[in-house]
Structure formats: structure tokens, C-alpha cells
Structure 1
Amino acid sequence: MSRILALDYGEKRIGIAVTDELKIIASGLTTVKTIDIFNFLDQYLETEKVELILVGEPKQMNNKPSESEKLIAPFLKNLRSRYKKIPVKRVDERFTSKMAFQTMIDGGLKKKQRKNKALIDEISATIILQSYLYNN
């Protein structure tokens, strides 16, 4: 059995979420510095079987790619070339950061905890993954 991994790419950090082996539940895994992502993925993929990697696709309200897509394109190229046997799909990530912040409020996190950007990135990756699971 294998998992689906979701990445919320950012210039400084990448939020990571993963499914259980039955691909029913999406859970936040961690947040990794962007510069360290391939070291993390190499180690993770040594011990866990992943059948699909999802990467958030930032879009503007008019459905055109956002400015940050320029930063993601080289990352995607590297990701696909390093892990050729694992397909990579994109998932619309509009509003995930706002939804993640609201999730933190709804979960009762204190104001200081809600300022933790790494946690917001991890929750955003989880929302990306939940969105994919719900729509597929």
C-alpha cells in the first residue's frame, strides 16, 4: 500500500501533508525549509511508498497563474527529474492559507500560536491534500 504526499511550496518553507496507506485521511506531516526539501524527500521515500505527489498551484482570481508560479516551475522540473517513477499533479491552492488560518482559530489556537507560519504551511498542505481526495 502507498500514500499520497502533498506539498505547499513556499520560497522559505514547504508544508507537507500525507495520506494514510488507504488514502482516506489527510494529515499534516511537517514543514521543511525549501532548501532542504530534496534531502527530506530522499529520506522519506526510502521508508515510505508514495504513489503520487501533489503540489499546490497558486492561481489568481481570474484563473491565471500567480507570480509565485515562476518560483515553483524550477522546483517542479527538479522534482519530476529526481523522482521519475512518481507522478506529480497540481492542485489549485487558492485560499488555502486563509483556510488554514481559520482552521487554527476554529481549533482554539492562541494568537501567538497562529503566528507560526510553518504550521500554516503544514495545514495548507493538508487542505490541498483533502481537496484532492474529496474531488477524486
Structure 2
Amino acid sequence: MARILALDFGLKRTGIAVTDDLQLIASGLTTVETRNLIEFLQAYFHKENVERVLVGEPRRMDDSASGIEANISEFLIFFESKFPQMPVERVDERFTSKMAFQSMIDSGQKKKKRRDKALIDEISATIILQTWLYK
């Protein structure tokens, strides 16, 4: 089997999570600057077998699209032009940042570590991936 990659897309940073080859375990991979995301993905896809990419879909409580959705749609058009054979699925990412922050508290992370927005983005991507795996 191949890995599944999840992205928590942001204007500045994008959190990335990935499964193991058996698609059983979701783990945070890294956070990259969004301007370097395509370059990172090209290198990662070259060295790892990835079956599909999941991209968080931010929604408001009334189920309308979040303000960043236009940026994500633009990114997805560019992504599909670079990786036309790679399937992309959207996953509801409501509350993932809050859940990521809470998981940091629950795991005993110090206050200084909880301010690390890159780590929150990576954990959020992991939650997106877990949501998809266990649906």
C-alpha cells in the first residue's frame, strides 16, 4: 500500500501529516512555509509512494465556506496542474486547531511550546488525517 498525506493549508504555513505504508497510523510529518509547499511535495512524492492527498476544508458553523477557501481553491488548481494523477479529497477541518491546542495541553506541553503555531498546524493536519482514516 501507499501512504496518504494530509495538508492543513494556511496562508503562511501548511501543516503536513502522513500515514504509514499500511495506512493504519497517522503521524505529523512537518510544517512548511506555504510558498515552498509545491517544491516540498515534489521532493516527497519522488521519494515516497503516496496514494492520495487530503486537504482540510475549513467551514463555518453555518456550514458556509471559510474566508481562506478561495486561497485553497487556487492552490488546488495549481496542485492539480503539477500532479494531475494524484487524487485529492477534501476533509472537514472544523475545530482541528482547537483540538490540536487541547491535545497539547492534555499531553502536558509547556505554555511556550503551545505557542508554536507550526506545531499546531502539524497536529491539525494529523487530526484531519485521523478523521479520514477512522470515518
Please give the secondary structure, in 2, of the residue aligned with 1:61: coil
Deviation for aligned residue 1:64: 1.0
AA at the equivalent of 1:6: A
Note if 1:121 corresponds to 2:121: yes
Q: Which amino acid aligns with 1:95?
A: F
Unaligned runs of 5+ in 2: none
Query: What's the CA shift for 1:27?
Result: 0.1
Letter in 1 for 2:46: E
CA distance in 2 between partners of 1:73 and 1:67 (Å)? 11
Residue 105 (structure 1) aligns with: 105
- Number of corresponding residues: 135
**Number of the residue aligned with 1:96:** 96
Deviations 1:29-76 (A, max 9, x none): 000000000110010001101111000000010111111101111101
For 1:38 and 1:104, locate their aligned partners in 2 and report how far apart those are by CA, in whole Å.
Answer: 28
Q: Partner residue of 1:56?
A: 56
Q: 1: distance between equivalents of 2:121 and 2:134?
A: 20
- Give the whole-Å Cα distance in 1 for the aligned partners of 2:71 and 2:85: 23
4+ runs deviating over 6 angstroms: none
1:46 aligns to 2:43 (yes or no): no
Separation in 1, partners of 2:48, 2:101: 29
> 1:86: which partner in 2?
86
- Stretch of structure 1 that moved more, 10-19 or 81-90: 81-90
Name the CA distance, whole Å, in 2 between partners of 1:92 and 1:81. Answer: 23
Q: Give 2:77's aligned residue.
A: 77
Q: Distance in 1 between matches of 2:113 and 2:65?
A: 31
CA drift at 1:81: 1.4
* Structure 1 unaligned spans of 5+: none
Cα distance in 2 between the residues matched to 1:21 and 1:84: 22
* Offset at residue 126 of structure 1 (A): 0.1
The residue number in structure 1 matching 2:5 is 5
For normalisation by structure 1, the TM-score amounts to 0.98
Name the % identity: 61
